[in-house]
Amino acid sequence: MKHHTDFILIACTDPVVTPEAAHAAAATRREVIHVTDPRDLSRYALDAAAVIVDASTAVHVAATGRRSRIYFVAPEPGPIDYEMALRSHAEQAFILPAESTQLLQALAADSTEQHHAAALRITVVGASGGVGASTLAAAIARMACAEQGTALLIDAIPLSGGLDLLMGLEAAPGARWPDISLGTGAIDATDIAAALPSTPDGITVLSAARAKVETPFTLESEAVGRLISATSGGFDVLVVDAPPTHIPQASDLVVVVCAAEVRSSAAAAEICAELKAQGSNFVVALRHRGWSGLSARDIERITQGDVSVEISHIKNLTKTTEVAGLPIVLPKKLAAPALELLAVAGW
């Protein structure tokens, strides 16, 4: 299942250019969405067929990680603030209403091109260590492929040890994070996918690398955002294994994995409060380890979040994963929650 992307996002506040931009966008017969709040921009910008910005929103649009089909507009008589246009990564700039026809032509040209729908973007974060967030992220990607989808699993945790180990790909050739050069230009999702290792069932994996000596590479949240933006049109599902301190803003769903224990639930409450303040869509996955002191109702009361799935202890899974990687045929106790979370996200 893929997202609806047949809309034009107008991120303008100027009273002159906003109605002119809206008129040009409407003439393409696409849906037009008006957004100026930075939090909403993060949610819509990556999915839009095109984005129209002015000087007031250029920086915020740039922060979303979008790098294509951005159009900068300025009111008559000008001049165009080209510094802001460049900061927004705009492809073209127009003075409105004088150049409304040219803006319409640019938008119409976009509408004739074939665009890939944006991927469903799911981020998984652990409220505490050892709750199985990485395993759940991998399971979600695995179930997406089992349902005839394509999935990219992104390791967004610095010094994580590498998701390639979890997936049994430690010896597989292919690029890891230090090998990926995002630069500042356009990035082709097909090229990235071809460079990365993949599992027998088709999960493409971008993993951290393991180095025995100090390296200059540092995984930054901006790089993760750019990677998500670049690959969003090349897969059905993107699953990000992220730390709670750097949750990608472009996530369609954030899954907070919490153990049924006091300290884990306390940490989850802080994460959920932050997500709620940001307007993010999130749910809680409740993990039962060796001993559970709290129920799902307790966790919902503490975190003020919905417990969408509960994951019980799975005997021998740790050993199996250590020896051969996460099984291609997942145990039912893991497959069912992963599939349910895909459904919650909109799959």
Per-10-residue mean pLDDT of the chain, 347 residues long, equals 67 93 87 89 84 92 82 92 89 92 83 58 96 97 94 92 93 91 64 91 92 75 84 89 92 96 97 92 94 94 97 93 94 97 92
Place of tokens 């003020």: 304
Is the separation of the CB atoms in 219 and 154 below 8 Å? Answer: no
| Token pair belonging to 20 | 């002119």
Residue 211's DSSP bridge partners are: none
Is the separation of the CB atoms in 242 and 156 below 8 Å? Answer: yes
| Token pair belonging to 22 | 């809206």
pLDDT value of position 111 = 56
Residue 315's DSSP bridge partners are: none
pLDDT value of position 183 = 60
pLDDT value of position 127 = 97
Q: Do 7-111 and 120-345 show the same overall fold?
A: yes
Which amino acid is present at 202? G
Residue spans of beta strands (DSSP E) within 83-190:
92-96, 120-126, 151-155
CATH code assigned to 7-111: 3.40.50.2300
Residue 74's DSSP bridge partners are: 95
pLDDT value of position 113 = 47
pLDDT value of position 202 = 94
Is the separation of the CB atoms in 265 and 305 below 8 Å? Answer: no
| Token pair belonging to 69 | 């089909």
Quote the CA–CA distance of 86 and 80 in Å, as a whole number: 11
**What number of CA atoms fall less than 13 Å from residue 31's CA on the CB side?**
9
If you classify domain 120-345 with CATH, what class do you get? alpha beta
Backbone angles phi, psi at 129, to 5 degrees: -70, 150
**Residue 173 vs residues 12, 168, 202, 270, 298: alpha-carbon distances, Å:** 46, 12, 15, 39, 45
- Domain residues of the chain, as ranges? 7-111, 120-345
pLDDT value of position 5 = 58
